[in-house]
Amino acid sequence: MEIIHSNGRFYIKTGNGEAELLYNKINSNAISIYHTFVPDKGRGKGIAEMLAKAAFEFAIKEKFKVRPDCPYIPHFLEKNPEYKKYIV
């Protein structure tokens, strides 16, 4: 699945609609991940995790910290503790 990044949004086109993760820049050093959505029929397949990893890798590359305002992100961090050091 191809992850597309455009204007504060990472998304994947699935057969059941688009899965997305939304973020915004909160200052010159940090972004807020505030929304993750996967269509019902796409859930449980690791799509949200793929989107979150893409967002964290983007943040790392751009030297941003991440504020986890989306309820999914703490769950993601439990499974991927290597990203915890990038949280503000």
Domains of the chain, first to last: 4-86 (3.40.630.30)
Q: Where are the alpha helices (DSSP H) in 14-65?
A: 47-61
CB atoms inside a 10 Å sphere around CB 19: 23
Burial 23-59 (b: 16+ CB within 10 A, else e): beebeeeebbbbebbbeeebeeeebbbbbbbbbbebb
Find out whether 5 and 45 touch, Cβ atoms under 8 Å.
no
- Give the pLDDT score at 1: 83
- Give the pLDDT score at 61: 98
Tens of pLDDT along the chain (88 residues) come to 899 999 999 999 998 899 999 999 999 999 999 999 999 999 999 999 999 999 999 999 999 999 999 999 999 999 999 999 999 9
